A and B are shown apart, each in its own frame.
Chain A
Amino acid sequence: MGEMSMANGHLPFEKPIVELRQKIVELKKFTKEKQIDLSEEIATLEAKAERLEKEIYGNLTPWQRVQIARHASRPTTLDYIQHIFTDFMELHGDRLYGDDPAIVGGIAKLDGMPVTVIGHERGKDTKDKIARNFGMPHPEGYRKALRLMQQANKFDRPIICFIDTQGAHPGIEAEQRGQSEAIARNLREMAGFTVPIVCVVTGEGGSGGALAIGVGNRLLMLEHAYYSVITPEGAAAILWRDASEAQQAAEALRITAQDLLKLGVVDRVIPEPKGGAHRDPETQAAWIKEALLETLNPLMEMDGPSLVKDRHQKYARIGVFAGGD
């Protein structure tokens, strides 16, 4: 899965910044020890570091964004739930087969208002990640999400979904238990709920496994998140028979938040702290909360049938073709 993060969680393309920052720290230490005034040199280097940061973070390639979206320290759904909501009560199980920890969900308050919140959960440490199957749900995960959404619909609570998955789990049992049907049913049912639905792509938007909790009135996306019909590695393997061409595929597939905004799929891009959400999870959470409230408030004014119509129209509009006028 691409290049590994370097020590301290820095990504390879951040190396020039890290080195320069390191040099500044050393220089400062040196001036203190030797009582020499190097403040002018330090100021020059700091200005240079800022320029460098602006240049690198301001011109991230799609592949670099993918690396940020997959960063091991990137906040997960449970982090955001903790920072954005109060009174979170997690609910479990699909009432059919089991409880899939790759999807978490429950009831919480957003600025005092009860909402249902659902999201993929990748997990934190290795043990947690394995238990949660790295956020790749089985059918029971999607069916749990559906149950919680039906519950929200019944009690007239808005639904908020956090999307962050490489994709639905590809496995024997997942197929036996109807992975396709579970995803398809969610797509259909989400289209018909009479409460506001706001979805946020926070990290990886991996194809149908992401979309299965992603049919909302509004779709928001973090600045460095990606959303794609296929992983860049998968596309590269098909196109060039070589997964290492993922960088090229990431560009061809137009998977960034900025691309999706242009394509009319995403309604709003939520900025990230410099270097990515993992650099400052609390600030990131605050920015997501602000965007959620601004998005949700006008939707709260709409009645059920209008919300359904709004959602239908959103998806009916997506697509580019010739003819048919």
Chain B
Amino acid sequence: MLKDIFRKQRRYATIPSPDAKREIPEGIMQKCPRCGTISYAKELEKNLKVCKSCGYHFSLSAPERIAVTVDEGRFFEYDADLRSLDPLEFPDYKSKIQKDMEKTNLKEAVVTGEGTLGGYPAVIGVMDSRFRMGSMGSVVGEKIARAVEQAVTKRYPLILFSASGGARMQEGVLSLMQMAKTSAALERLHRERVLFVSVLTNPTTGGVSASFSSLGDINIAEPGALIGFAGRRVIEQTVRQKLPDDFQTAEFLLKHGQLDMVVPRTELRQTLIKILELHSNGGNVDGKRPSAL
């Protein structure tokens, strides 16, 4: 039966990710950039890197995000070998990529794969803003498009966590075209009626905001996340007027109808599990109405 599709797949074998739990914050203490409260790094981590005093959401790396999102040890990475080249021979690009690879221990600005949340399987993509500001070049676009293909083939819901400054300048128009590539892939997912949940985290701007991350069946953002198309400075120069204090925050977007909800990180996993559950029992996952029990 269709309604059993997820239950069956809960038993599928997963390979624990070696990266999932390795990352530990460097210092012992960490200071909140918003309220100045100093917390033990370990305690902060226990609270999913959310400041206990003011609710400020620190950035999560891709491995950290995966660790706090999927069921323990249940993540199987896709396309880990894709690496950027330097198609335009752009000044300093190669060395910047090299440096970010060393700094992050990642190959590129997105990690994709499949895992389970509360037992429900899903295809997951997580961007890492430490790698070239999470910008989308050929590799990021390709990995996301391939993840979408996996979701289509397996009929697993897709969850993408964006954290990106936009399209990657150093790959020029090839980066721009990744917006079309990822959105075209999502067109197929949309046509096949497979669920896509977009989680917009700080920051999601430019070409990523204007492509896949705005195309979720459900769009969720973390509190305070910067989300927008144009950069603040460019807008200020163009309109020559003061911008609202909450301009381009998750809360601003919610108010203007651009998001379904703003969910604190501490509740995000449960929210995602609930969404998966709501779409699991026949739902529209196969384009059919839920059959009577």
Residues in chain A within 8 A of chain B (CB atoms)? 168-172, 174-181, 183-185, 187-189, 191-192, 207-208, 211-212, 214-215, 227-230, 235, 238-239, 252-255, 259-260, 263, 265, 311-312, 315-316, 318-324
Contact = CB atoms under 8 A, between A and B. Distances in A.
17 contacts: A171-B230, A175-B230, A178-B214, A178-B256, A180-B258, A187-B183, A228-B172, A229-B167, A230-B169, A265-B177, A316-B181, A316-B184, A319-B138, A320-B85, A320-B171, A320-B174, A322-B83
B191 interface: yes
Given A188-B183, A319-B141, A254 B172 contact: yes
A170 B247 CA distance: 13
B141 A215 contact: no
Nearest to B236: A170
A238 B141 contact: no
Given A183-B229, A324-B82, 6 more contacts: A177-B256, A208-B229, A229-B175, A312-B187, A323-B83, A324-B81
Contacts of A174: 229-230
Given A185-B215, A252-B90, A311 B169 contact: no
Nearest to B248: A175
B60 interface: no
Interface in B223-278: 227-231, 234-235, 238-239, 241, 243-244, 247-248, 256-258
A175 B253 CA distance: 8
A110 to B, nearest CB: 24
Contact of B142 (A214, A235, A255, A324): A324
Given A188-B187, A324-B142, A229 B180 contact: no
A319 B235 contact: no
Q: Which of B81, B88, B173, B215 is the most central at the interface, judged by chain A CB atoms within 10 Å of its CB?
A: B173
A211 B179 contact: yes
Contacts, number: 195
Q: Which of A208, A214, A235 is the most central at the interface, judged by chain B CB atoms within 10 Å of its CB?
A: A208
Contacts of A321: 82-85, 138-139, 142
B61 interface: no
B88 A254 contact: yes
Pairs A-B, 7 closest by C-beta atoms: A170-B230, A319-B138, A187-B183, A191-B184, A323-B81, A320-B87, A184-B214
Nearest to B200: A180
A215 B244 contact: no
